[in-house]
Structure 1
C-alpha cells in the first residue's frame, strides 16, 4: 500500500472537517436525485445513473421508437444531448447548437455554424433564481457562453465574449494549435472545471486543470499537472521538464462529489507517450487519480496508477463515486478503471486504498537513455482484460497463412504487461492504445456499490523508430511515399479523389492553411480526426505540397464557406475570435540551455491488427465493489473484421468509446459496435432487450422524464466502419439522428 500525499496540518484539518460531513450524510440516494440529465454523464458524479422505474425488466421489451430528430450530415456526430426541464440541447445541422421543445419536438432556436465546437457535449448552469441560464461550450480553443433561453452568445463572458484557453499554460499562446478538451467540463457551484486535449506529440502543451467562473469567465484556479519548481511532485521530473513536457491532461470526464466539494481528475500520460528519456522519473501527476478541492484547486490526495508511463495508459474513464459496504463498514469510495484492465478503489476523502495494492517489479528498458520505472502498482481486484497475446490465444478466425505469419512474429516479439517499447523488436501490448476502458466506458449504481465497465481487448503493436532530421528538398520517390500515406491513412475519410466523404474535401487545402497549422492537425488531430504522430516531417511537407501548399511560405487561411440551416436561426458562429497578431510556430525543439537526449523516438499506435487475440473483443463487466469481485461479464457488440464465412453473423466485440445508462429499476442500457443497443439485467447481465440501429452510436446516451414518462435518447448518427453491417442501407432504416425510445402509450 502506498499513500501518495503528505499529512500537513492544513490537510489534516480539511480531512477532519470532511470526515465529519461524511459521517453525517445520508449514504442512500434521495429519490429527488438523478432524475435529470443536465450533465454529460447525467450528474456531476458522471455515474450515468437515472432514478426512474417506468421502464423495467418486465416491460423493457416493449420499447419502441417514439421519434427521431434527424441530423443528415456527412461528418460523424458524437454529441451527447442534455435535457433541462422540457428542453433538449443537441448539435446538428452543420455543427449548430439546437434547442428542442420536448412537448412539441420542434426547434426553439438554432445557433448555427459553430465550426470547431467540441462535438461530445456542453455544460449547463443556472443561477439559484433561474433568471440566468447559460450553456458553456468550447469552440476553436475558446470557452464561450450562450444564453440557454435565447440561443445568443453572451458577450459579457470573458474578454470580447470568450476565454482563450491557450492562455495561462506557460507557453507562447500563439504557438498552441490544440488545447480545447474532447469532452465538456464539469460544473461545480459557479465554476466550470476544464480539462484539455493538447495532443500527444513531443512538446505538446501541458494539460493543467483550470476552473473558470461561469458568469464572468474569470480564471479562478489552476492545478499544474506537471509540477513547477517548489510544487509537490516537482522532484519526480528532470528539473526543466515543465518547460517542454506536455500532456498529463484530463481529456475525458472529470467527476465531482458536490456534497464534499471534491473534484476527481483522471489524468493521462506525459508526452512523449512511448519514449521518456527526456522525463526520467516517476512523472507525477501523469496517469494519476487526483482529488482536488473543487473550490480552490488545492490537491487533497492522489494515486499514480502507472509510473513513468511508456504505453499510453491514460486514465480516461470517469472516476465513479460509490458507497460500498466492506466488512461491515460503510465507505464513500471512488473507483477508477484503467486502459490496461485494472480496477483501483479508494476512500473518497482520505485516498486510502479500499483493496490492497502491491508494487511489483517489471523489466527494464533497453532503449538509450530510457529508465523504465522498476515497479508498477497492481491492485488485488480481478482485472477485466487479458494482458498478453500468445500463440494459444491468437484469433482462431485467422487463415492458416495469416496464423503462420503471426506465430513467427510472436516468436520474435515480446508481449506482456509493462514490456517497454524497443527499436529492436515489436512489443505487443494487450490492451493497446484504445483500452481496456476508455472514456464513456464506466458507470455505476452509486448507492449499491456496483460499477459497470465497457471493455475492449484490442492489441497494439509498437516498434520505436528514431526521428530523423527533416530534409529540405524532396524527391519524386518521397512524393510516392505521400500517396502511400494517403491511401493507407486518409482515403477512407477524405475520399479517393480527396473531394471528401466522411471527412471534408482536401482539394487545394494547402492554399488556405499555413504549413504549421496543417502539420499540427495531422500530428495532433482536430475535432473527430485522430492524430497521426508517426508521420515524419519529410512526408508531411511533401503531402502539404501535394495539397497545393508551400511549406516555406505563409498563406493566410481563407474564410470557410458555411450554410445557414433552415429553422429558427438566432445567431451564427459564436463570438468573433480575434486573430493572433504575431503567430508563433508550434514548439518543435527543447528550450535553449535545457539538457535533453540526443535522439527522439516515436511509434504509431499499432492498430493494424485490433482483433489479434481471440474474441470476445468487447464485453460489459459488472463489479461488486462491496465484495471486490466481478459479478458478471457479458460480450457485446458486433465486429466481423476477422470472421470467415457469413459476415452478417459477426463476432462479439467493438465497444470503443460508447456509453451506458443505469436505471434504478435494475436495467443497464449499453451501446456497442454495429449500432447495437442493449438492455441488460443488472443482477446477472442477461440481455432482456436489444435492437440494431440504422447508424453507429459514438455518443453517451441520455435519459429524461417528461410529464412522468421515461425516455431514452441515443445519438445514432455516425457511419459504420464496414459495409458488412451497414444497417443504414436496409429497408425501413431510420435517418441519421437522435433516436428517442419510450414505452407505447397506454
Structure 2
C-alpha cells in the first residue's frame, strides 16, 4: 500500500479490529439528538436537533425569550445545556451556570483567564452522582463540579493535568498546546486535539485521550509517526523530533455505537515551505478513523500530500446515512478549505464517490519538493479555485481594479500552485476560504450535509528568514512603523483605533508582554500568527503601545481580582505549581537531523476578503445521496461593496458562524452583520430572519425544557468592517447570550 494514499486496503489484522469494534459496540440508550450537552450538540458534531415545537409554519413567530448580558467583554463561547442548566462563559472570564428557562445565575466560577475559548465538556456518571465540566486552561486540563461550580482537586495532579507533557518534547519548550475547542467525550474518555501554533519547531499535534475521573492519559495517537509506526517513512528520518502541527485544532466527531473517533488533522509546520519535511507527510491533512477506546488507527485518507497551503481539515466530519445503488451506507463526509467534499464508508474507509490523483505543478523553491499529484474527488466543488481579471470584485473602485490588473500580470493563480519567492501566488480559496470550524452540519438520517463557505483568497510570497540584527534595538520607532504598516494596519486601523480587529491604543497598560507575544506570534481568533516577527521588533511595538516588555509566566492560582457580582463560588481554577510555567520555545533542529540550507516564511495574505465577485459567503445543502448541490443560499450583509444586497452575501460572512439543523425541516444559520436565519431544508427558502444587536462569533445551540424549544446565540462581539452596527440603535439588546423561542400561548 502506497503511504500517500488512503488506507482502504487493510491488513487482516486491521479488518479484524474493525469487526471487533462494530461487534462489541454498546447499545444506544438514548437519542443523542434531543439534547445539546456537547459542543456540536452531540458527539457526532452533527448540530442536528430533534424536537417538534418549532416548524416551518411557525418559525416566523420566534421572539427573544431572555438575554444574559456579558458586560463589555466579548467571547466566542458556545453554550451547552444539561437538564435545566445552561453553562456559559461570561464576565471576568467566568464559567457560569444559568437557569435555562430564565437566565438566572446559579453559580459563578470567576477569573478562569486562559480557558478554552470555544466551549467545554459535560460528563456524568451512570448513577448521575458525579457531574463534571472538563476544560483546558493555560495548557492544563481541569475539572469543575457541575453542580457546585468548584474545582475538583483530586483530578489529575492536584486538580490539573499538564498538557505539555507526554508529547515527546521537552515540556518547558512548549509555549502553546491547548486547543481552542473542547475536544469530545466518548464514555469515560475525553479525546483532545491541540493548537500547536504554526511556527518552525512548533510542538506535534498528537491526539490524546484522558480519563475524565482520574485525569490519567489513556492513549496517544502520534499524528507525526515515531520510528516503527505506520507512516514514519513518509517523513525525513527523525522528523518527529522537530516537525510540529499536524494537529486536530478543530472538531472531532465520534460514532458512539461503533466506538470510532473521526479526527480531521491540519497542516504540518512550517505551513508554506516544507524542505525540512520532504515526503507525503502522514497523517497531516488526513481524516483518520481511530478506535475511540484505544487510539488505534483503523483507516485514514490524506486529502493533501505535503501541504504547502495551510489547507487544514478544519470542520467536523459529518456522520450520515447515504443511499447509493439501492443500499443504505453509514458514511462519514469531510468538507475542506479548498472546496471539496470527500465521502467514505464509515467502517472500511472505502470512498463512496470516486477520487482521482491528478498532477499539479512542481515547486521552484530551493530544497522543496512539492508532491506531484493531489486527490481530487468527483463531487462538485463548492468554491472557485482561481483569481483572474474576469472574476475580480466588480465593486472595486477603478484605482484598485487597475492595481490588481497590474498585480495579476506578475502573479500566478491556480489550485495547488506552490508558493514561491520569485512571484506572488494568489490562492483561491486561501487559508480562511472554504469551510472552517463550525461550518458543517447534517441530518444523520437523510444524507444531506450543510456547509457554510466563503470565497476568500490568500496572497503568498516567500521570504528567506534572516538572523536578527544586533542593532535593532536602536531603531524602535522605525521598526514599529514598518511592522505595523506591513502586518497590522489592515485590521487595527491607520491610527490603531480598531476596525476589523480591536483598538490597540494603550493596550500595553493592561496586558503582559508574554500574552502580547503569544497572540502576535501564534495568532488568536481571526488574527493569524506573525511567525516572521523577531523578538526586538515585538518588544519595540509593545513599548510603543504603552507596555513594559519584561517576560512573566502565566498568571497562576486563585486570583481575587475582578470578582463579579453574583453567586461566586470560586475563582481562578486550581493552583498550578511553578514547574507548569512555560519556558523558551525550541529554536533549532536537533543534533544530527538533516536541515535545509535556509528557512522561508510568508505573510498570511488575508488583506482581500472580497477579492473576487460575489456571492462571497453561502450556505450550501449538499445531497450526498446524489452527489449534487441541492441549493446554495448567499448569507450575511455587506455595506462596503454590495450596500446590503442580500443576494451577494458578505466577505468573511460565515467565519466563526454556525448552524443548527432540526428534525422539522429547518436550518438555522448565523452570518456576518449579526444575521440569524431559518431556511427551509428542502428549498433553501428563507422562512425567518432577524438582525441581532451584536455580532456572533460562536456556535448556536438548541434545547427543550418542559416541552418548549429554545435557540440560544452568543451575540456579544463587535461588528466587523463593512457591516451596519446595530448595537447603537434604539432598543438594542445588551451584548450577551440571546435566547429565542415561540411566544407563550
Q: TM class, shorter-chain normalised? A: over 0.9
Per-residue displacement from partner, 1:572-622 (whole Å, max 9, x unpaired)? 000012123885410111112211001111011101111110011100011
Counterparts of 1:528 and 1:392, CA distance in 2: 29
Partner of 2:327: 329
- CA deviation profile, 1:148-206 (whole Å, cap 9, x unmatched): 00000000000010001111111111111111001111000000000000110111110
Q: How far apart are the structure 2 equivalents of 1:650 and 1:732?
A: 27
Match of 1:686 in 2: 685
Q: List gaps (5 residues or longer) in structure 2.
A: none
Contact 2:105 2:566 in 1 (8 A): yes
Count residues in correspondence. Answer: 736
1:3 paired to 2:6:
yes
Partner of 1:311: 309
Contact 1:114 1:574 in 2 (8 A): yes
Matches within 5 A, 1:556-705: 562-580=561-579, 584-643=583-642, 646=643, 651-653=648-650, 654-705=653-704
- One of 464, 472, 488 as aligned partner of 1:474: 472
Runs (5+) with no aligned partner, structure 1: none
CA distance in 1, matches of 2:399, 2:186: 57
State the match for 2:42 in structure 1. 43
Match of residue 216 from structure 1: 214
Query: Structure 2: how far apart are the matches of 1:440 and 1:630?
Result: 20
Deviation at 1:85, TM superposition (A): 0.3
Q: Distance in 2 between matches of 1:336 and 1:241?
A: 28
2:260, 2:292 within 8 Å by CA — same for their partners in 1?
Answer: yes
> Is the 2:237–2:593 Cα contact (8 Å) retained in structure 1?
no
Q: Deviations over 1:60-117 (max 9, x none)?
A: 110111111111223x311000000000000001210000012443111000010001
* Alpha-carbon displacement from aligned partner over 1:316-374 (angstroms, at most 9, x marks no partner): 10000001110101100000000000000000000000000000000000000000000
Moved more, 559-568 or 300-309: 559-568
TM-score scaled to structure 2, two decimals?
0.94
Which sits farther off after the overlay, 43-52 or 713-722? 713-722
| Equivalent position of 1:736 in the other structure | 735
CA change 1:345–1:647 in 2 (3 A) is closer
CA shift, 1:647, in A, is 6.4
SS in 2 for 1:174: helix
Divergent runs of 4+, >6 A: 497-501, 548-551, 556-561, 647-650
**8 Å CA contact retained: 1:363, 1:420:** yes
Q: Indicate conservation of the 8 Å contact 2:77/2:117, yes or no.
A: yes
Task: Give the corresponding residue for 1:366.
Answer: 364
Q: Which residue of structure 1 aligns with residue 341 of structure 2?
A: 343
Gap change, CA 1:623 and 1:546, over 3 Å in 2: same
2:173 paired residue number: 175
The answer (yes or no) to whether the contact 1:64–1:744 under 8 Å persists in 2 is yes
Instruction: Give SS of 1:725's match.
Output: coil
| Residues 495 and 638 of structure 1, relative CA distance in 2, 3 Å threshold | same
Shift in Å, 1:657: 2.0
Correspondent of 2:275 among 274, 277, 287: 277
Counterpart contact for 1:51–1:664, Cα < 8 Å: yes
Cα contact 1:73–1:94 (8 A) shared by 2: no
SS of the residue corresponding to residue 403 of structure 1 reads: helix
Q: What is residue 438 of structure 1 aligned with on the other side?
A: 436
Counterparts in 2 of 1:156 and 1:374: CA distance versus 1, 3 Å: same
* Counterpart position of 1:107: 105
CA distance in 2, matches of 1:437, 1:214: 31
Which residue pairs with 1:288 in the alignment?
286
Pairing of 1:235-250 with structure 2 (within 5 A)? 235-250=233-248
Secondary structure at the aligned position of 1:543 is classed as helix
- The CA distance in 2 between the partners of 1:499 and 1:405, in whole Å, is 26
Query: Bigger shift: 570-579 or 557-566?
Result: 557-566
**Which residue matches 1:119?**
117
CA distance in 2 between partners of 1:544 and 1:719 (Å): 24
Matches within 5 A, 1:27-176: 32-74=31-73, 76-176=74-174
| Match 2:16 to one of 13, 30, 41 | 13
Change (3 A) 1:563 1:402: same
Partners of 2:359 and 2:601 lie apart in 1 by 25
Contact kept, 8 Å, 1:494 with 1:505, in 2: the verdict is: no
- Deviation of the 1:455 alpha carbon: 0.2
| Residue-by-residue CA offset, 1:614-664 (whole Å, 9 max, x unaligned) | 011100011111111111111111123434xx5688941211121000000
Q: Is the 1:675–1:693 contact (alpha carbons within 8 Å) kept by the matching residues of 2?
A: yes
**Residues 670, 16 of structure 1: CA spacing in aligned structure 2 closer, same or farther, 3 A cutoff?**
same
Q: CA deviation at 1:513?
A: 3.8
Contact 2:122 2:134 survives alignment (8 Å): yes
CA apart distance, 1:407: 1.1
Distance in 1 of aligned mates of 2:24 and 2:155: 35
Q: 1:691 to 1:103 in 2, by over 3 A?
A: closer
Q: How does 1:398-417 map to 2 (within 5 A)?
A: 398-417=396-415
* CA RMSD in angstroms, aligned pairs only: 2.6
* 1:712-736 CA distance string (max 9 Å, x none): 0011001001374111111111110
**In structure 2, C-alpha distance between the alignment counterparts of 1:545 and 1:691, rounded to whole Å:** 43
Note if 1:523 corresponds to 2:521: yes
Shift of 1:399: 1.4
